[in-house]
Amino acid sequence: MRSIHSRVPATLLSCCAVATLGAAGGAPAATTAAAPEAVATQLRDAATAGHNIAYQWVSELTTRFGPRPAGSVNERQAAEWAAARFKALGFENVRIESFPVTAWVRGTDSARISAPLAQPLVVAALGESPPTPAAGLEGEVVMYPSLTALKAAAAGTLTGKIALVTRHMVRTQDGEGYSAAVDARVDGPAEAARHGAIAFMLRSVGTDSHRLPHTGTTGYTDGKVPIPAFALSPPDAEQIERLAALGESVRVHLNSSASYVHDAHSQNVIGEVRGRERPEEVVLLGAHLDSWDQGTGAVDDGTGTAIITAAAKLIRDADHRPRRTVRVVLYGSEEVAQPGPPGGAFGGHAYADHHKAELAQHVLAGESDTGADRVYQLTVPPAVSDGEFAQMALRVLTPIGILAAARPSRDFGTDVDPSVEAGVPGFALAQDASRYFDIHHTPDDTLDKVDRAQLDQNVAAWAAFVWLAADSDVDFRAHPTAPGH
Amino acid sequence: MRSIHSRVPATLLSCCAVATLGAAGGAPAATTAAAPEAVATQLRDAATAGHNIAYQWVSELTTRFGPRPAGSVNERQAAEWAAARFKALGFENVRIESFPVTAWVRGTDSARISAPLAQPLVVAALGESPPTPAAGLEGEVVMYPSLTALKAAAAGTLTGKIALVTRHMVRTQDGEGYSAAVDARVDGPAEAARHGAIAFMLRSVGTDSHRLPHTGTTGYTDGKVPIPAFALSPPDAEQIERLAALGESVRVHLNSSASYVHDAHSQNVIGEVRGRERPEEVVLLGAHLDSWDQGTGAVDDGTGTAIITAAAKLIRDADHRPRRTVRVVLYGSEEVAQPGPPGGAFGGHAYADHHKAELAQHVLAGESDTGADRVYQLTVPPAVSDGEFAQMALRVLTPIGILAAARPSRDFGTDVDPSVEAGVPGFALAQDASRYFDIHHTPDDTLDKVDRAQLDQNVAAWAAFVWLAADSDVDFRAHPTAPGH
């Protein structure tokens, strides 16, 4: 999860310039049961009380199918299961849309310090990384505190050696610590290769201190990852640093049997709650069904699929349909998404391509892909950030701990971003990411890490907000200001 | 660490029946700088302030030598390093005493759910466990909530199948949760084999929920572990339980290339601070230098070796020697200690055998082997629990958070227990074990888990208490009560 696209700085929007209307801050006084805010509040409270299917969904998904790497049998069977469940939940227009991918298969990977004294290391090959020779490869380790330092290394410094970037990721609530550190994983192998390295390693991009490496996709150069690349668990990176600090020259032996399956396919699973008045207008809810291969993809992104499915189910079971259609898309192959070709064939691109003609009727899109800890922040499109819609949404959401974002977002999730880039307005229900990067992309991404009460709060936020958006006729798109304004 | 011997119930001792003497509860009023209590207080405060070598010791030990399994090159090199350091620290009579062991070598181990759908499992073969056939073995999983339930299974229930004991370990401060759960690891393989099982698995004996299995030694039947035996990480055990709860029959494939080295040896490292008046009388401080192979043996038991060495170094550097000799023993091959033959050849037995003639002059023995979290409880031999010695010790130790144990102990540590069984009085500075079993015997037993402030408190407790014992002429042995008393 989480896009590896760069963020674009944006101007500040005032969150406090909202016009004060009659019902602001209090319950609406004289609405009928069918009024959008009353329904949203009902859905919120039902979800918070545990009356939603999210936990059951993520439990069964992760238990039955385990890891669901892009292009795998497990991913495909999970998609078939999800489509069958969508139908059983009463969703409409349920379909599976396939697209071709090159699947990366880890095989086995292992590593050891070979000198001064043999010690095992805990590593994981980075996604898309090529294998080592069958006998492995070995070299002296050269350490860099950051990608910047590696880039600045003198020519030839790394010839025949193994680069190690030791940068620590900073723990933040908004996940910016990840954005600040992930460059080493994405661009490190290419930079190391450019300096003559035979392999690349980095301290895992993660905030924990367990012997569990954080994998993740890495960047291509001329259509491939140039050298084998590995994430070390944080304690293993520190072990090498301490050995070097004792004056030792450290040699490491690396082995990976990674391979590629070029004729694989992945798929997006789609289901709808059709709108009662404007069914052609779509509020798009996204999450991804694939996962990394080490864990079972519980918080990345089983919970996202559970949250949006459970929210849509609550909407489906309301006394009446919302005006607009709510479309749930469980994307495939998110984890291997690349900023550019040749990695472009992933679910988010496939959806935006396949539904290009409909995107003008997509009124809003959002994604749940930062685990299952509580939502603390709402971002709405700039076009509505100062109006009654945002105010109503906050009246419903603030009681469950959600504030307005102080700044607009340009990054709504890897899956929906291609649609957003095509003009669909994005919204965000930002999740507390403080714990997320302890387990992100590690073997530890398993069901036991899901906090059920916080998962329920997520469902509450999504059900309520999506109801308000779908049962409105609000135009979320920014339009040129009319002359004279 | 931690003995797998059963505990023997003992009568309660009143901790409150101590006679009230003049200085009880307050600082001694008119002592010289050389008075034992004043020196002990000085040593305590120096250690607490960080003026001790414990962290440096455990850092260098775990960094240079990594895992130190019994009988390995790493264990031997660590012993040679420790002996050299003992000499450099000014310890006397430094020696290495070797003894033969059969070394167990893990090789590689792996496992997967093979049906209903392939999923990887995270496992660790239990110590001493025989390998599977090279192609692995596979069978249907049959679950039991406890060893008791496995024992009670009907004859033939497990023929051709794989047993799984799913019992959870309870988190406790005193480590009794481990004692209550470890029976499945020790006796499970033999019980499963008796019922026809082809392999044995258990939910790791540990209190965490990470994908890191807890290994540990298991019991022999007729001189060997009868079938391959594995610990599953807690989330993996739960995954199998949930699959079964969904109505699936779960099959597992297991592979281990474990092997044995029959002509290996291990060793104890010994050093002393010789006493000034009664050098033949020994206060024995124990910890073990070997570790399991998955982590680097930081808290099991690198910190124990660091604590007793740092305490002895503080005593060595005091203004004068204590009356009695302080002997530090870093034992080898503790982790494979077995309650009986043929596993009897471990450091604790080797020491008690080799020094049999001296044991009558061993006045007291204790061991540090439950990590590095703070000491919270002092146990002294029953012979002195009601007297001035215990009271003085508590005056020095209670200010750093240590209370008297309400009950006597019969379990002072796997290494010193053979000496205690031969009549040497035991003492215990019990460590808070609340966190210990999160990482015990896992790959996560690494330096980053050591809390330096708590480590210093341990050194303070050991230096102060051992000074008081060594600079006294107290007789810690229980003697028959004289007639008329």
Tell whether the model's pLDDT for residue B294 goes beyond 80: yes
Q: Point out which residues pair with A429 in neighbouring strands.
A: A378
ipTM for the assembly:
0.90
Which residue in B67, B122, B448 is closest to A238 by CB distance?
B448
- What are the two backbone dihedrals, phi and then psi, of residue A182, each rounded to the nearest 5 degrees? -75, -10
Cα–Cα separations (whole angstroms), residue B470 to B16, B322, B324: 25, 6, 5
Confidence of residue B285 (pLDDT cuts 50, 70, 90): very high
Q: Could A449 and B74 be called an inter-chain contact, meaning their C-beta atoms sit closer than 8 Å?
A: no
Average pLDDT, integer, range B381-407: 96
Q: Which of A298, A444, A328, A356 is nearest to A92 (CA)?
A: A328
Minimal Cα distance from A236: which residue of B?
B446
Q: Tell me if B442 and A211 make a contact (CB, 8 A cut-off).
A: yes
Is pLDDT of B33 > 80? no
Q: What is the pLDDT of residue A162?
A: 98
B63–A235: do the CB atoms touch at under 8 Å? no
Q: What is the pLDDT along chain A (485 residues), one digit of tens a residue?
A: 444 433 333 332 232 222 223 333 344 444 444 699 999 999 999 999 999 999 999 999 999 999 999 999 999 999 999 999 999 999 999 999 999 998 999 999 999 999 999 999 999 999 999 999 999 999 999 999 999 999 999 988 999 999 999 999 999 999 999 999 999 999 999 999 999 999 999 999 999 999 999 999 998 877 889 999 999 999 999 999 999 999 999 999 999 999 999 899 999 999 999 999 999 999 999 999 999 999 999 999 999 999 999 999 999 999 999 999 999 999 999 998 764 444 456 999 999 999 999 999 999 999 999 999 999 999 999 999 999 999 999 999 999 999 999 888 888 999 999 999 999 999 999 999 999 999 999 999 999 999 999 999 999 999 999 999 999 999 999 876 655 44
CB contact (8 A) between residue B66 and residue A444: no
Residues of A in contact with B446 (CB under 8 A): 211, 235, 239
Residues of B carrying an active site annotation: 334
* Local structure of residue A65 (DSSP, 8 states): H
At B442 the pLDDT is 98
Residue B296 Cα, gap to closest chain A Cα (Å): 9
Interface size A-B, in CB pairs within 8 Å, comes to: 103
Residues of B in contact with A111 (CB under 8 A): none
Contact flag A113-B66 (C-beta cutoff 8 Å): yes
Cα B137 to Cα A248: distance, rounded to the nearest angstrom: 42
Contact criterion met (CB < 8 Å) for A67 and B449:
no
> What pLDDT does residue B349 have?
93
Q: Is the confidence at residue B230, as pLDDT, over 80?
A: yes
Q: Check CB contact under 8 Å for A242 and B63.
A: yes
Nearest to B63 among A212, A246, A449 (CB): A246
Rounded mean pLDDT of chain B?
91
pLDDT at residue number B39: 98
Q: What is the pLDDT of residues B171-207, one digit of tens each?
A: 999 999 999 999 999 999 999 999 999 999 999 999 9
Closest listed residue to residue B57, CA positions, set B301, B273, B342, B344: B301
Angstroms from B354 CA to nearest CA on chain A: 31
pLDDT computed for residue A481 by the predictor? 63
Give the sheet arrangement for strand B137-144, strand by strand.
B119-121, B109-115, B251-256, B137-144, B162-165, B199-203, B229-232, B123-125
- Out of A43-57, A436-450, B344-358, B447-461, pick the least confident: B344-358
Q: Which two tokens stand for residue B115?
A: 């049906």
Q: How many CA atoms lie within 13 A of B307 on its CB side?
A: 42
Q: What is the pLDDT of residues B37-56, one digit of tens each?
A: 999 999 999 999 999 999 99
> CB A239 to CB B66 under 8 A?
yes
Interface test with B, best of A73, A119, A438 (most B CBs within 10 A): A119
User: To the nearest whole angstrom, how far is the Cα of B39 from the nearest Cα of chain A?
Assistant: 34
Strand order in the sheet with A375-379: A403-404, A375-379, A428-431
Query: In Å, how far is A111's CA from the nearest CA of chain B?
Result: 13
Residues of A near B (Cβ–Cβ under 8 Å) read 59-60, 62-67, 73-74, 77, 113, 116-120, 122, 209-212, 234-235, 238-239, 242-243, 246, 293, 295-296, 442-444, 446-449
pLDDT of residue A4: 44
pTM: predicted TM-score of the whole model, two decimal places: 0.91
Distance CA A188, CA A49 (A): 46
Residues of A that are catalytic = 334
Which of the residues A68, A251, A448, A451 would you substitute to probe the B interface, choosing the one with the greatest number of B C-beta atoms within 10 Å? A448
